[in-house]
Structure 1
Amino acid sequence: MSWAVTHEDLDALGQRIVADAAGAFGGYKVEFNELTLTAALPRIVEALTLLRDHPDLRFNQLIDIAGVDWPQRERRFDVVYHLLSYPKNRRIRIKLETDEDTAVPSVVGVYPSADWYEREAFDMYGIFFEGHPDLRRILTDYGFHGHPLRKDFPMSGYVEVRYDDELKRVVYEPIKMTEWRNWDFLSPWEGDERGYAPKVLPGDEKAEAK
């Protein structure tokens, strides 16, 4: 028995879901043989409940919740849900947009595994989830400043951490950038202009002096 899913199958599935959702989904698209649905933010709980409970869909497993940052957009964040249907052997993606101040309804009541996924999105991107039972950081420290996966977060971070032997505890200090090192990218295997004899590289004169 073949489980191959064609573009036409996914297109028909997308049309049916949008039609049955009564506005909970704004649209869909099929790309790279994958179905992506766009959900209305206030109705995400209703939308995922439909996908889980509909007898012809039965997307009973939440695989992941991911964030995507688009700083140039007014609603800069995408919240992406990946679902799996064991009985139908299908995967589906649901996306919605939000900003730094608008909370997304928590779907922990639909999929309990969303608990940690939503906490991760909050920690890494600063996306708020309304109704989450325990929305706090999960990967960074409690006193961490900022959200590391935002595009405007500095690569060096804001503070550095070290253990202080005198205080006998971990301390946080402003980043101290050491002087930038000038790397020598010349290779000792490079020949002269004709490709025969080795070139004289910087520092060779010191070795000859010895």
Structure 2
Amino acid sequence: MATLHSAPRFTQIEGLAGTLGSALGEHLVSAHEEHGELLLTVQRASVEDALRILRDDHGYQQLMEIAGVDYPSRAERFEVVYMLLSLTKNSRIMVKCTASEDTPVPTVTTLWPNAGWLEREVFDMYGVLFDGNTDLRRILTDYGFEGHPFRKDFPLTGYVELRYSEDEKRVVYEPVELAQDLRQFDFMSPWEGADYVLPGDEKATTSPVDEPKTTESPKQTGAGKKTDDKAAEKVSAGAPAEEDGGKDAEPPKPTEDRPARAKRQGKTTDTAKATEPKAKKAPAKKKPAAKKAATKKPAAKKAPAKRKAPAKKKDAE
């Protein structure tokens, strides 16, 4: 048996902007459809009244999420977005308002108790204040954390780290200890070149070739005069390479131009004959086997052996 539900299967947003816009009245700033959902912008001071109307009069019973958005270039840089769900209409809408660092947003904990946790998250990540929230404190970062991580101007790399000290029983900030130097990336074109000196390049500012090393006194040259006099002597005097080095030796003549060459000793034959392939002998013809005699002599038959005569029985005594 099929079960019937009062909520439609698909969300109906045709004409929803006009219906909710007229219901909100002066609380509404603008209304438009985006990504298949209705987005309503309301006044910051009357956000609690606008959400109460949507909950009580139009069936948006559940507050699903409260999110923050940061636009640093705007005068009121933050947007607080409320995401509502209607179970009876199968409809989702978004309601948002703007705020700055010093202008608090009215709390909606009077409408939905779960808004306390959601507002604490937006305060922790963005720094938005909610007027009327009695427990507005950090929920994701640790106690003593400085700054708000989801702001667009929050530094991605810091020079201090946060940890809990067992000795002091509190959260302390300490300088970051890195295994290598912290580098800043400017993402400029490699063809333009960087306008800073990379670590290690400062050693190559002056080339060692441009500053030749000179000796100002004889003491800097080595061991002294005796060593200089001895260095003039040729250590390789008398060596074969030294004796033959001054003569221009003629290159040896090719082997083909030496007809009176002595014969090689040993069993090695002449090179020309030794390299020639040996002639293969023709295989010898097989002689035909002699024909056997057609007639064979019959083998002599053996005479049958004579039977022995049976032994006579001795006469009875």
TM-score (norm 2): 0.52
Q: Matches of 1:163 and 1:135 in 2, distance apart?
A: 22
Percent identity, please. Answer: 47
- Of the candidates 48, 51, 58, which is equivalent to residue 48 of structure 1? 51
Structure 1: state its 5+ residue gaps. Answer: 182-210
> Is the 8 Å Cα contact of residues 119 and 138 (structure 1) preserved in structure 2?
yes
Q: Which residue of 1 aligns with 2:309?
A: none
> Is the 8 Å Cα contact of residues 77 and 97 (structure 1) preserved in structure 2?
yes
Instruction: Please give the residue correspondences for 1:37-116 in structure 2 after superposition, counting only pairs within 5 Å.
Output: 37-54=40-57, 57-116=58-117
SS in 1 for 2:15: helix
Q: Structure 1 residues 143, 59: closer, same or farther in 2, change over 3 A?
A: same
SS in 2 for 1:3: coil
Q: Matches of 1:180 and 1:131 in 2, distance apart?
A: 43
More strand by share: 1
Q: Which residue of 2 aligns with 1:24?
A: 27
Instruction: Please give the residue correspondences for 1:1-210 in structure 2 after superposition, counting only pairs within 5 Å.
Output: 3-5=9-11, 9-54=12-57, 57-157=58-158, 159-162=160-163, 167=167, 171-177=172-178, 178-179=180-181
1:53-99 per-residue CA deviation (whole Å, 9 max, x = no partner) reads 00xx2111000000000001111001000010111111110111111
Q: Which residue of 2 aligns with 1:196?
A: none
TM-score (norm 1): 0.77
Q: Which residue of 2 aligns with 1:201?
A: none
Structure 2: state its 5+ residue gaps. Answer: 184-317
Q: Matches of 2:68 and 2:94 in 1, distance apart?
A: 13
> Is the 8 Å Cα contact of residues 147 and 153 (structure 1) preserved in structure 2?
yes
> Is the 8 Å Cα contact of residues 69 and 77 (structure 1) preserved in structure 2?
yes
| Number of residue pairs the alignment of both structures matches | 175
Q: Matches of 1:71 and 1:18 in 2, distance apart?
A: 29
Q: Structure 1 residues 149, 109: closer, same or farther in 2, change over 3 A?
A: same
> Is the 8 Å Cα contact of residues 24 and 44 (structure 1) preserved in structure 2?
yes
The offset of 1:156, in angstroms, is 2.3
Q: Matches of 1:125 and 1:164 in 2, distance apart?
A: 26
The offset of 1:24, in angstroms, is 1.2
Larger CA Rg, structure 1 vs 2: 2
Q: Matches of 1:158 and 1:110 in 2, distance apart?
A: 42
Letter matched to residue 123 of structure 1? D
Q: Structure 1 residues 148, 180: closer, same or farther in 2, change over 3 A?
A: closer
C-alpha RMSD over aligned residues: 2.1
Q: Structure 1 residues 103, 85: closer, same or farther in 2, change over 3 A?
A: same
Q: Structure 1 residues 162, 107: closer, same or farther in 2, change over 3 A?
A: closer
The offset of 1:13, in angstroms, is 0.8
Determine which structure has greater relative contact order: mean sequence separation of CA pairs < 8 Å that are 6+ residues apart, divided by chain length. 1
